[in-house]
Amino acid sequence: MKIIGSGYLSPVGQAVAAELTSSNQAGFDALLETIGSFRCFASSREVVSQESVADKQKVISLILAVRLLEIAEAAYVVMQHGMSTEADSLFRTFLDAYFVFGNVCSNEKFVTEFFKSDEANRLKLINADRKHSTDLFKPANEGISEKHRTDLKARVEGEKIQAFNSYKYATDIGCEHIYDSMCRIVSAAAHTTPRALVDYAEEDAAGNVLSARDGPSEGSIPQRLHEFAHFLIQALSGLQEVFGCINEAEISRLTEMLMNVPKK
């Protein structure tokens, strides 16, 4: 068994990636067009007042829109380089953000719940720090008093504050099936489980590994291009609804463009 290839940034790797991009150009075009439309709408919005719950919903939805755009554009660049497994990892990250975004857009009261979840997460971090006495954890342990920890613990338990829970967020907006399918599948890449290694390896009929690919691969890129674009279109629709500016013609245009991408 040996490693085959010269990486993603070598001249050979870039040439292979360029061929993969060309063969999936319609998918890349559809995603780029969706990113552009999403950004155009989001950047045209302005929240003048931040007093009401509805105002705060709009503010957080715009911040999350920027987050979705960053992940989608990172995935676009990664897929252009033929980094198919890393595209899976980014799609898991994207879905986590999408579930939060969906809750913010559909329930203005969720904003408070979402930010309170950070208190439960912070308590977990403090408790983890307390298990260690090495220099790495010394600043945190010395900087956070035991009183602060116990007060935070009492508040989290008293108010029944829940930590960040992507599965719950997905379920609350009717996306449990997405979590149990797409999200769990791409989690393999995010956590580097054994299943994530399959795309790199070439085996013989007996199951012996012959080589490990070090370079671009189409992998699931055609599917991920479609999914990133699809969920961005859904997110755009949700953002338009929050701001009371639904543009069904634009949603239909983007959807039709995506549907016309040749299937692979």
pLDDT tens profile 200-244: 999 999 999 999 999 999 999 999 999 999 999 999 999 999 999
* Sheet strands side by side (includes 2-4): 2-4, 209-213, 201-203
What's the confidence (pLDDT) of residue 70? 98
Query: Measured between alpha carbons, how far is 15 from 22 in angstroms, rounded to an integer?
Result: 11
What's the confidence (pLDDT) of residue 37? 98
Beta bridge partners of 4: 213
Instruction: Say whether pLDDT at 149 is over 90.
Output: yes
Q: Residues of 108-120 as b/e, b for ≥16 C-beta within 10 angstroms?
A: bebbeebebbebb
Instruction: Say whether pLDDT at 89 is over 90.
Output: yes
Average pLDDT of span 108-126:
94
Quick one: CA dihedral 197, 199, 202, 205, positive or negative?
positive
121 burial class (0-12, 13-18, 19+ CB within 10 angstroms)?
Answer: middle
Average pLDDT of span 145-158:
95
Query: Measured between alpha carbons, how far is 259 from 9 in angstroms, rounded to an integer?
Result: 32
Percent of the chain with pLDDT over 70: 100
Q: Is 212 helix (H, G, I), strand (E, B) or coil?
A: strand
What's the confidence (pLDDT) of residue 264? 81
Q: Which residues span the domain enclosing 201? A: 2-259
**Inside any domain, residue 32:** yes
CA dihedral 59, 97, 38, 34 (to 10 degrees): 180
Instruction: Say whether pLDDT at 91 is over 90.
Output: yes
**Inside any domain, residue 264:** no
pLDDT, tens only, 161-178:
999 999 999 999 999 999
CA neighbor of 229 nearest in space, from 22, 26, 72: 72
- State how many domains the chain has: 1
Size (the chain), residues: 264
Q: Name residue, tokens 């990486």.
A: 7
